[in-house]
Structure 1
Amino acid sequence: MKTEEILARLIAFPSVVGTANHDIVDWIRTYLTGLGAQVSVLPGPEGDRSNLFASIGPADQRGIILSGHMDVVPAAEPPWSSDPFSLRREGERLYGRGTSDMKGFLACALAALPTLASLPLSRPLHLAFSYDEEAGCRGVPHLISRLPDLCAKPQGCIVGEPSGLRAIRAHKGKAAARIEIVGRAGHSSRPDLGLNAIHAMAEIVAEAVCSADALTKGPFDGNFEPPYSSLQVGTIAGGQAVNIIPERCTIELEARAVAGVDPSSLLSDIETKLESLTERGFKTRWETLSAYPALSLKENAPLAVLLRDLTGQEPLPAVSYGTEAGLYQAAGIDAIICGPGDIARAHKANEYIESGELAACRTMIEALGQRLRA
């Protein structure tokens, strides 16, 4: 099948993050099995969605993973010019939800498989397709934990997030949480009889602002913009009316950490502050929404050198957004980002990828196959 034909099939599956994905997984499994690949469908603990792992070549040798996620963000934002789950061509542009982020890369990998399967590979090529990446990389840790049962330890992992097909060696880590405070409602004329959850949350927000300000003082990594870790409160909700003591207040916050800093540790002072509110009668809840480590691959690492040779471009030192690559590196597998499309087109109406970008990515993957042959 041609790359564009495969992409059209993938786009037609509305595999929105946080929803069941059996349809897209079954289609990919059937396609790969027909090419002679060794395929494992790996159900997640949610029960209605799965990761998929496939190999061609000798799985007992150390090979390379091509990693991507099957989920996409919702397509509720206006104004789409066409059905976001039906691929539309306009000139060289192919429109649809997930074309750049990142079903374009999946399509390239799948389209290259017939050529790669015909090669006498001495080292394997693996496909690792995950779910719920858009919810904070929730699916791929379950896949990574199964790798020792599925193949010899891989030499490296190429995560195909849209990068203009230029490799990227580093990104920040991230931790995000939801905080809920429950107080006691009452009439605003008797604040002494209630517990104001918004006032209590104001103390938590103040602690977050203080922590955020402290991060601007370092540690620094000049490869990132900004060159320091960051922290922010992104949402806040609470209260019913101005004359009712608010019983409940909720915020969501995140921290993004430079390499060498545990992103979860940046939230620890806030969590400690939250726990202190229980002594004053408030009920509190801390829910971790996502957590993944930073990526930091050395300039002279074999995987970086390989991608420089395959793309003809020097890898970029870093980007500030995050990917699954940091989780592979944390598991002892060198990882790098390189995929077709542009991250600036993602998560917005009329997302697209260019046919030339797909062709270049497929060529890169087939060239990688030549490096793995006997």
Structure 2
Amino acid sequence: MTQMNVEMILDQLVAFPTVVGTPNHAIVDWIAEYCRSYGAAVSVLTGPEGDRSNLFVTIGPSQGRGYILSGHMDVVPAREDGWTSDPFNLRRSGDRLFGRGTSDMKGFLACALAAVPKLAVQDLRRPLHLAFSYDEEAGCRGVPHLLAALPRLCDTPLGAIIGEPSRLQAVRAHKGKAAARLEVTGRSGHSSRPDLGLNAVHAMAGIVAQVVAYGRQLEQGPLDPQFEPPCSTLQVGVIQGGQSVNIIPDRSIAEVELRAVPGTSPVALLEPMKAALLALRDSGYQVAWHDLTTYPGLSLPEDCALAALLADLTRQPVLPAVSYGTEAGLYQQAGINAIICGPGDIGRAHKPDEYIETTELTACQSLIEALGDRLAA
């Protein structure tokens, strides 16, 4: 394969419309062929869905404790108004490269792949692994399958660098998350006889009121001043129900999301809301609780060797925390120290005309190559 620079690689990656929840074999095949052309060991790990895969690549020796560069291949949809060009066709304007996923987070993938030619000819004493996942944007659904396979793919890594957009400043912590869909089924009828029906919207309104009240309780603690806000948070993001004002609604749906400070379980914190929903059965309603997504928070100690390494490589202080979530907490849960550090800005993600700057890509590629130098020393 002809050697490509980071911008050329990003152009290829953005052109794959790897929207979360859709097949991704085209991008997996392209990356696998690219890495194999430089002699890297490649494992394609097909998920239970059958039409999408994780990818694991090893550069350097097959044994020994090295580092993982972790990123996700999926992107959020690009249906928002405001795009001034095709979201899946990389467009350059000055120092900016526009396209879906440029910051979140195909820019990091491109940097890692652009570093492969140099890494491949170095005499690495320890391996450097690329771990690229699917469906991160749906609540980190792909990476657990990759982590389950890790013991047969490599020795326990020294750490994982999660390349989410952080302006290339390392970050030690983020909140955990749990989201659920709540369903209430009542009994329909004419609105003139509400006594003969069971109004599912009214029942759900009571649950929503409890969610709001419980969210205010969470504001009291536990608190972690590293975060903004410093408490766990709870919100209702979706509510649906009813079809006409003169029909008693027999069904209502709500979706709730809880973000928990590290040290607390987001799933456990949602239990009182689950209990409140189930209690509606005593009033004759049918109810259902569906877990949508969950991942743990990240909390890397300030004095951890991985934090010191990234501070040295980036020549910037390590940030204590960010508000958004990543796969890093799942790596830590699997016994692998993890830290966030990637090019781009999370403030540009999930918006029209998402972009990354060419200088950010160059700096990230240089950081990865400097990590390779450490592994060759």
TM-score scaled to structure 2, two decimals?
0.98
SS in 2 for 1:289: strand
SS in 2 for 1:253: strand
What is the letter of the counterpart of residue 43 of structure 2? Answer: S
Q: Which residue of 2 aligns with 1:228?
A: 231
SS in 2 for 1:372: helix
Deviations 1:52-104 (A, max 9, x none): 11101223211100000000011111121111100111111111100000000
Pick the aligned partner of 1:329 from 332, 340, 352: 332
Q: Which residue of 2 aligns with 1:197?
A: 200
What is the letter of the counterpart of residue 29 of structure 2? Answer: D
Q: Distance in 2 between matches of 1:142 and 1:230?
A: 28
Pick the aligned partner of 1:112 from 86, 111, 115: 115
Q: Distance in 2 between matches of 1:360 and 1:145?
A: 32
Q: Which residue of 2 aligns with 1:96?
A: 99
Q: Distance in 2 between matches of 1:118 and 1:182?
A: 63
Deviations 1:144-172 (A, max 9, x none): 11101111011100000000000001001
SS in 2 for 1:327: helix
Give 1:175-194 correspondences, 5 Å limit.
175-194=178-197
Pick the aligned partner of 1:40 from 37, 40, 43: 43
**1:238 CA drift (Å):** 0.3
Deviations 1:25-78 (A, max 9, x none): 110111111111111111111111111111012232111000000000111111
**1:281 CA drift (Å):** 2.3
Q: Which residue of 2 aligns with 1:135?
A: 138
Q: Which residue of 2 aligns with 1:51?
A: 54
Give 1:359-370 correspondences, 5 Å limit.
359-370=362-373
Structure 1 vs Structure 2: percent identity of aligned residues? 67
Pick the aligned partner of 1:208 from 200, 208, 211: 211
Pick the aligned partner of 2:22 from 19, 24, 33: 19
Q: Distance in 2 between matches of 1:241 and 1:102?
A: 43
Q: Distance in 2 between matches of 1:224 and 1:279?
A: 39
Is structure 2 residue 294 aligned with structure 1 residue 254? no
**1:192 CA drift (Å):** 2.1
What is the letter of the counterpart of residue 301 of structure 2? Answer: K
Q: Distance in 2 between matches of 1:222 and 1:59?
A: 42
What is the letter of the counterpart of residue 188 of structure 1? Answer: S
CA RMSD of aligned residues (A): 0.8
Is structure 2 residue 68 aligned with structure 1 residue 62? no
Q: Which residue of 2 aligns with 1:339?
A: 342
Unaligned runs of 5+ in 2: none
Q: Which residue of 2 aligns with 1:238?
A: 241
Q: Which residue of 1 aligns with 2:266?
A: 263
SS in 1 for 2:141: coil
Unaligned runs of 5+ in 1: none
Single out whichever of 194-203 and 299-308 deviates more from structure 2. Answer: 194-203
What is the letter of the counterpart of residue 244 of structure 1? Answer: I
Is structure 2 residue 165 aligned with structure 1 residue 165? no
Deviations 1:161-186 (A, max 9, x none): 00000000100111011111111111
Q: Which residue of 2 aligns with 1:285?
A: 288
Q: Distance in 2 between matches of 1:13 and 1:189?
A: 54
What is the letter of the counterpart of residue 5 of structure 2? Answer: K
What is the letter of the counterpart of residue 156 of structure 2? Answer: K
Q: Which residue of 2 aligns with 1:300?
A: 303
Q: Which residue of 2 aligns with 1:354?
A: 357
Shift >3 Å, 4+ stretches = none
Is structure 2 residue 272 aligned with structure 1 residue 272? no
TM-score scaled to structure 1, two decimals?
0.99
What is the letter of the counterpart of residue 91 of structure 2? Answer: R
